[in-house]
C-alpha cells in the first residue's frame, strides 16, 4: 500500500507546477480506441490510473509507448473487445472503455466495475442510454456484454449530469448514422477536453460545456493526432488548500484559473488573498481565516465533490463552525474518522458535515480509504504537531503525480515509504 510520513509545522512557500488532469487523460486514452491511426498525447500525468488505462489499451491490441509525460498510442489493430476484470477492479472508471470499444468493434464486454469507498457507484445511466442507442446489453451483475449492429440516432436525457455517462454516450455515438443529442449532460472541463481531442481526431461534436451535446456521426477516424492534456484543476485546488492551512504563500503554475472559480470564491470568503494570472494563481492568508456558514458540492461549475475532503481539512483548523453538504456521492465520508483521529472535531448527519474548527492537531497513524480522502489527511498532517503517518498511499498515488517532491520543494517535510 505504501505510506506518507509528514512532519507538521512547516509553512509552504514557493512555486508548484501542476500536472495534466487525471480525469481528462482517462477518457482521452479511452477515446484513442476510436482512431485507427496514431495519437500523441502530451502533459500526461504518470499516475497509477494512467498505467491501468495503458494496460487496458495494450490488452485490446493497441501499441502504446511512453516516456516522461508523453504517451503514443497506435490503435490500428484492435484484436480484443473484453476489458480484463483485474484491470476493471483496479479502476472502476474503465467503464468508459465500453463506449469506445463498442463504437469501433460493435461488441464489448467488461466485468461489473462495482462500488468503491465513495458508495455504490452504479452505471444504470450508462446502460439505459446505451439501450436507447440500439445497443444490446446482457448484464448479470458480474459481467456486462454489449453488442450493436449500428448505433441508432436518438435524444438521450440524463437523469443526472453524470460525467462518466456523458463521456460513455459520446464515445458510443461517434460513428452513429445520423446524430445523437445528450440533454442534461455534464459540463465539466474534462468533458470539454475530451471533445476537443475527439474533434482533432475528426469527430463531429458540438455543445460541450453546455447542458446539451450533439454528436453527428462520421464514417471512420484514421489520423495522426497530437494533443496536450489540460491541467488538473483538482490537484491545483489541493495545493491551494495546503498553502492556506499552513498560512503559506505559494504560486500554483500551469493551470486554467477559471476552472477553480468555485474554490477561489470560498478561499476569498474565508480570508485568503488570491491573485489570478493567465496560467497561475498566488495565494496567501490575509489574516486569521474565518469559517464558512454553508458549502455544498454540485456538478461543475459549482463546488466540486473532488475538493470536499481537502477543504474540510482546511476548515477543520479554522476557529468556528463550518458546514459542508455532499450532494454527489452517498459515502464520501471515509476521511472524517481519520481526520478526527488527528484531533479534528467533525460530525456527520446524512451527508451534512458539521466541522467545529480546532486550533491544534496532533500527528497520528491514519489510513487513506480513497484518493481525495487521502489528500485531506496529508493536508491535515502538514499542520499536525509531530509526525503523521498516512497509510494507503497507493490511493493517493492514483491521482497525484510526485506529490512528495512537489511538497518538499514548497518546504514541507514529507517522505514516501514504498511497502
Q: Does 230 interact with ligand EPZ (rule: CB under 6 A)?
A: no
Under rule CB under 6 A, which residues in 327-346 are in contact with ligand EPZ?
Answer: 328-329
Residue 157: phi, psi to the nearest 5? -105, 115
The yes or no reply on residue 404 touching ligand EPZ (CB under 6 A) is: no
Q: Which of 39, 62, 105, 116 is catalytic?
A: 116
Is residue 60 within 8 Å of residue 200, measured between CB atoms?
no
C-beta pairs of 161-164 under 8 Å, 24+ apart in sequence: 161/185, 161/186, 161/187, 161/211, 161/299, 162/125, 162/126, 162/186, 163/23, 163/188, 163/190, 163/191, 163/299, 164/93, 164/95, 164/96, 164/123, 164/126
Q: Give the binding range for ligand EPZ (CB under 6 A) out of 10-18, 124-132, 213-221, 313-321.
A: 124-132
Q: How far apart are CA 12 and CA 246, in angstroms?
A: 6
Q: How far is the CB of 327 from ligand EPZ (least distance, A)?
A: 9
**165 counts as binding ligand EPZ under rule CB under 6 A:** yes
Pick from 31, 81, 93, 94: which binds ligand EPZ (CB under 6 A)?
93
Q: Which residue is nearest to ligand EPZ (CB)?
A: 164
Nearer to ligand EPZ, 160 or 277 (CB): 160
Taking CB under 6 A as the binding criterion, the range among 60-68, 158-166, 269-277, 407-415 that sits at the site for ligand EPZ is 158-166
CB of 386 to ligand EPZ, least distance (A): 29
| Interaction between residue 372 and ligand EPZ (CB under 6 A) | yes
Kindly determine how many residues on this chain lie close enough to bind ligand EPZ according to the rule CB under 6 A. Answer: 23
Based on CB atoms, which residue is closest to ligand EPZ, 97 or 343? 97
* Structural contact between residues 2 and 397, judged by C-beta atoms closer than 8 angstroms: yes
- Check binding of 194 to ligand EPZ (CB under 6 A): no
User: Catalytic site residue 116?
Assistant: yes
Closest CA to 27 of 222, 150, 218, 162: 162
Segment contacting ligand EPZ (CB under 6 A): 34-42, 123-131, 198-206, 358-366? 123-131
Q: Which of 7, 121, 183, 199 binds ligand EPZ (CB under 6 A)?
A: 121
Tell me how far, at minimum, the Cβ of 92 lies from ligand EPZ, in Å: 7
Long-range contacts of 283-287 (CB under 8 A, 24+ apart): 283/240, 283/243, 283/244, 283/248, 283/249, 283/250, 283/252, 284/243, 284/248, 284/249, 284/250, 285/244, 285/247, 285/248
**Which is nearer to ligand EPZ, 129 or 272 (by Cβ)?**
129
Report d(CA 353, CA 136) in Å as an integer. 42
Any idea which residue has 481526431 for its cell?
201
**Among residues 49 and 361, whose Cβ is nearest to ligand EPZ?**
49
Give least dist CB 218 to ligand EPZ, A.
25
**Residue 412 found at the interface with ligand EPZ (CB under 6 A):** no
Instruction: Give 286: exposed, middle or buried? Use CB within 10 Å, 0-12, 13-18, 19+.
Output: exposed
Stretch that binds ligand EPZ, among 137-145, 159-167, 353-361, 408-416 (CB under 6 A): 159-167
- Closest residue by Cα to residue 266 from 233, 308, 329: 308
3-state class (DSSP) for residue 399: coil
Buried residues in 206-243 as b, exposed as e (16+ CB within 10 A)? ebbeeeebbbbbbeebeeebebebbbbbbbbbbbbbbb
Choose which of 8, 20, 164, 217 interacts with ligand EPZ (CB under 6 A).
164
Q: Which stretch in 63-71, 116-124, 210-218, 240-248 sits in contact with ligand EPZ by CB under 6 A?
A: 116-124
Distance (Å) of CA 88 to CA 71, 97, 292: 21, 10, 38
Q: Does 125 bind ligand EPZ (CB under 6 A)?
A: yes
Helical (H) or strand (E) element with 335: helix 335-341
Does position 260 bind ligand EPZ by CB under 6 A? no
Q: Which of 63, 70, 86, 122 binds ligand EPZ (CB under 6 A)?
A: 122
- Binding flag, residue 126, ligand EPZ (CB under 6 A): yes
Residue 211 found at the interface with ligand EPZ (CB under 6 A): no
Residue 163 in contact with residue 206, Cβ under 8 Å? no
26 binds ligand EPZ (CB under 6 A): yes
Q: What residues line the site for ligand EPZ (CB under 6 A)?
A: 22-23, 26, 93, 119, 121-126, 160, 162-165, 305-306, 328-329, 371-372, 399
List residues with catalytic annotation: 116
Amino acid at each position: 500500500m505504501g505510506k506518507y510520513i509528514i512532519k507538521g509545522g512547516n509553512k509552504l512557500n514557493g512555486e508548484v507546477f501542476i500536472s495534466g488532469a487525471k480525469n481528462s487523460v482517462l477518457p482521452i486514452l479511452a477515446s484513442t480506441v476510436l482512431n485507427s491511426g496514431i495519437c500523441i498525447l502530451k502533459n500526461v500525468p504518470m499516475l497509477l490510473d494512467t498505467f491501468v488505462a495503458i494496460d487496458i489499451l495494450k490488452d485490446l491490441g493497441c501499441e502504446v509507448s511512453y516516456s516522461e509525460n508523453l504517451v503514443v498510442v497506435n490503435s490500428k489493430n484492435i484484436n480484443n473487445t473484453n476489458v480484463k476484470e483485474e484491470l476493471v477492479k483496479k479502476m472502476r472508471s474503465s467503464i468508459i472503455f465500453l463506449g469506445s470499444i463498442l463504437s469501433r468493434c460493435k461488441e464489448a464486454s467488461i466485468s461489473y466495475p462495482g462500488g468503491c469507498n465513495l458508495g455504490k457507484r452504479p452505471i444504470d445511466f450508462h446502460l439505459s442510454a446505451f439501450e436507447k442507442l440500439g445497443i444490446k446489453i446482457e448484464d448479470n451483475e458480474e459481467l456486462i456484454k454489449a453488442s450493436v449492429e449500428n448505433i441508432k440516432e436518438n435524444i438521450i436525457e440524463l437523469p443526472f449530469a453524470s460525467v462518466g455517462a456523458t463521456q460513455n454516450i459520446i464515445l458510443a455515438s461517434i460513428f452513429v448514422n445520423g446524430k445523437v443529442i445528450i440533454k442534461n449532460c455534464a459540463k465539466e472541463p474534462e468533458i470539454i477536453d475530451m471533445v476537443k481531442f475527439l474533434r482533432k481526431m475528426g469527430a463531429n461534436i458540438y455543445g460541450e460545456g453546455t447542458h446539451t451535446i450533439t454528436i453527428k456521426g462520421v464514417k471512420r477516424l484514421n489520423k495522426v493526432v497530437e494533443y496536450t492534456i489540460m491541467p488538473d484543476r483538482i490537484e491545483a485546488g489541493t495545493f491551494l488548500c495546503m498553502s492556506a492551512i499552513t498560512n503559506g504563500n505559494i504560486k500554483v503554475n500551469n493551470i486554467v484559473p477559471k476552472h477553480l472559480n468555485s474554490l477561489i470564491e470560498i478561499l476569498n470568503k474565508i480570508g485568503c488573498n488570491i491573485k489570478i494570472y493567465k496560467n497561475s494563481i498566488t495565494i496567501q492568508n490575509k489574516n486569521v481565516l474565518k469559517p464558512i456558514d454553508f458549502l455544498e458540492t454540485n456538478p461543475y461549475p459549482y463546488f466540486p465533490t473532488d475538493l470536499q475532503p481537502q477543504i474540510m481539512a482546511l476548515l477543520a483548523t479554522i476557529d468556528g463552525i463550518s458546514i459542508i453538504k455532499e450532494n454527489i456521492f452517498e459515502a464520501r465520508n471515509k476521511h472524517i474518522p481519520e481526520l478526527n483521529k488527528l484531533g479534528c472535531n467533525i460530525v456527520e448527519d446524512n451527508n451534512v458535515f458539521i466541522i467545529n474548527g480546532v486550533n491544534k492537531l496532533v500527528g497520528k497513524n491514519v489510513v487513506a480509504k480513497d484518493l481525495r480522502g487521502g489528500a485531506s489527511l496529508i493536508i491535515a498532517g502538514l499542520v499536525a504537531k509531530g509526525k503523521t503517518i498516512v497509510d494507503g498511499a497507493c490511493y493517493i498515488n492514483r491521482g497525484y503525480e510526485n506529490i512528495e517532491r512537489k511538497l518538499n520543494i514548497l518546504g514541507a517535510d514529507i517522505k514516501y515509504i514504498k511497502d
